[in-house]
Amino acid sequence: MARRRILILMSNTGSGHRASALALRAELKRAFDRQVRVSIIDLLSDYLPPPLRYAPNAYPFLSQDAPWMWKSLWQLDMRIAAPAMRTAARAARHSVLRTLQAYNPDLIISVHPLVQHLVAAASRQRFPSIPFVTVVTDLGGIHPLWFHRSVTRCYVPNDDAYQLACRSGLLPGQVRNYGLPIRPGFGDRLHQRMAIRRELGLLPEEQAVLLMGNGVKRARVIKTARSIARGLGAGGEGRGQLVIICGRNERLVAELSAISWPAPTRILGFVEEMATWMQACDCMVTKAGPGTIAEAMASGLPLILNGYIPGQEAGNVTYVVEQGAGRYLVDPNEAAHQVTRWFTHEQAEMELMAQRALTLARPHATRDIVADLGALLDMRAYSPALLADDSLSASR
């Protein structure tokens, strides 16, 4: 049997879209092995004509240096946004059809709201037999552009998103509430923190806080780290250790490595085993990226959110705080003081938030989505339990 060709459409406007695309590809290959050939493409940057192809290049400036402008664009009324999308789709139609013909997919997956609007109508008109699905990669404050009535399936992360999809014109049979796709391994080793710390060379008996250094300005990361370390070190109110993950920001790694820390501190750049590091820690300080939040919840980590991209990530903050899984504290000193309180006299609150995070978590979201995709293509997973698991009920 020829391999089924699966095309995942994304755009490099934020790391969450790529992370979800990679998670889906990994699970598709794990579940269906040689039955599939999966391609991930950045449709906007690599396949569309100007000016659409330049849109991803503007994203870092708009989201980091001109957030007010990005927020205004994000909050455009659908009466303005929808006609704009139709105009863009007409301009992109020839390039979109040429791309689809080149890849000749058996299934199209979109993990980006703009991309799906550029592709969905053309795909339905020219290739009506090819399933076209959307995987929503936001948690809260989800933009209506995520919901296109012509899709075969729309996979959403939670109950609120399910209701919004239905209010936006999708039929209940089109929508699957399975969660946000995350990488494998998160939540696999709950309640093994001391053993994991020992494996990683951390102090096994000491509580640990994980500080994420990506997506927040370097100066604020350094100030937050210093303040946390003061609170947990000798002379501070609390006791514990600090893990800082800087991603690919080599300058931040160098600056942090030059500091003399009053508390045990581990500084890391890019790490492959993020699940292991999360499960070694007791709480986490991070920007409100949806993928990171979903992974932290699967790991049972109470969250301190210290920033967000206006518009698209604001709803993630609301979701975490209102659901009782964390706090929103931008000021570095306030964030550090909260860590200290959690590690001392507010342990009960931290443990309650950890349980709340686990309740909200959907650690098998990627598996569930991929199993449903396999059913669309009439493929059987290599693991019979994958499709037999009753957690895959579409009624959720």
pLDDT digit string, tens, across residues 160-212: 999 999 999 999 999 999 999 999 899 888 889 999 999 999 999 999 999 99
- Which 3 state secondary structure label does DSSP give 284? strand
pLDDT band for position 388 (cuts 50, 70, 90)? very low
For the chain, the residue count is 396
**Residue 64 pLDDT > 80, yes or no?**
no
| Nearest CA among 358, 347, 359 for reference residue 301 | 358
Q: Which residue has the higher pLDDT, 392 or 170?
A: 170
- Which 3 state secondary structure label does DSSP give 312? coil
**Residue 25 pLDDT > 80, yes or no?**
yes
11-21 pLDDT per residue, tens: 887 677 889 99
Q: How far is CA 377 from the centre of its chain?
A: 26
pLDDT above 90 as % of the chain:
68
Query: What homologous superfamily is domain 193-360 in, according to CATH?
Result: Glycogen Phosphorylase B; (3.40.50.2000)
- Which 3 state secondary structure label does DSSP give 185? coil
The pLDDT assigned to 86 comes to 82
Number of H helices, E strands in the chain: 17, 12
The pLDDT assigned to 389 comes to 37
The CA-based angle 162-289-390, given to 5 degrees, is 40
The pLDDT assigned to 371 comes to 96
| Nearest CA among 293, 297, 295, 288 for reference residue 358 | 297
Q: Which residue has the higher pLDDT, 15 or 95?
A: 95
The dotted CATH code for 4-182+363-392 is: 3.40.50.2000
CA distance linking residue 290 with residue 215, whole number of Å: 12
pLDDT band for position 84 (cuts 50, 70, 90)? confident
The pLDDT assigned to 391 comes to 33
**Residue 47 pLDDT > 60, yes or no?**
yes
CA-to-CA separations, 377 to 4, 7, 393, in angstroms, rounded: 8, 13, 17
Domain segments of the chain as ranges = 4-182+363-392, 193-360
Of the listed ranges 49-58, 346-355, 357-366, the one predicted with least confidence: 49-58
Strands 303-305 and 326-328: parallel
**Residue 58 pLDDT > 60, yes or no?**
yes
The pLDDT assigned to 234 comes to 81
Per the structure block, which two tokens stand in for 13? 């406007």
pLDDT band for position 392 (cuts 50, 70, 90)? very low
Strand extents, DSSP E, 25-84 = 36-42
Average pLDDT, the chain: 89
CA distance linking residue 54 with residue 47, whole number of Å: 11
CATH topology identical between 4-182+363-392 and 193-360: yes
CA distance linking residue 180 with residue 136, whole number of Å: 7
CA distance linking residue 45 with residue 156, whole number of Å: 26
Overall average pLDDT of the 68-85 stretch: 69
107-159 pLDDT per residue, tens: 999 999 889 889 988 888 889 999 999 999 999 889 888 999 999 999 999 99
Fill in the amino acid letter for 193. R
This prediction has a pTM of 0.88
The pLDDT assigned to 393 comes to 33
Overall average pLDDT of the 359-376 stretch: 95
Overall average pLDDT of the 323-327 stretch: 98
Q: Which residue has the higher pLDDT, 378 or 5?
A: 5
**Residue 226 pLDDT > 70, yes or no?**
yes
pLDDT band for position 381 (cuts 50, 70, 90)? low
Contact 316, 139 (CB under 8 A): yes
272-309 pLDDT per residue, tens: 999 999 999 999 999 999 999 999 999 999 999 999 98
Phi and psi angles of residue 358, each rounded to the nearest 5 degrees, phi first? -65, -35
Q: Which residue has the higher pLDDT, 75 or 332?
A: 332
244-253 pLDDT per residue, tens: 999 989 999 9
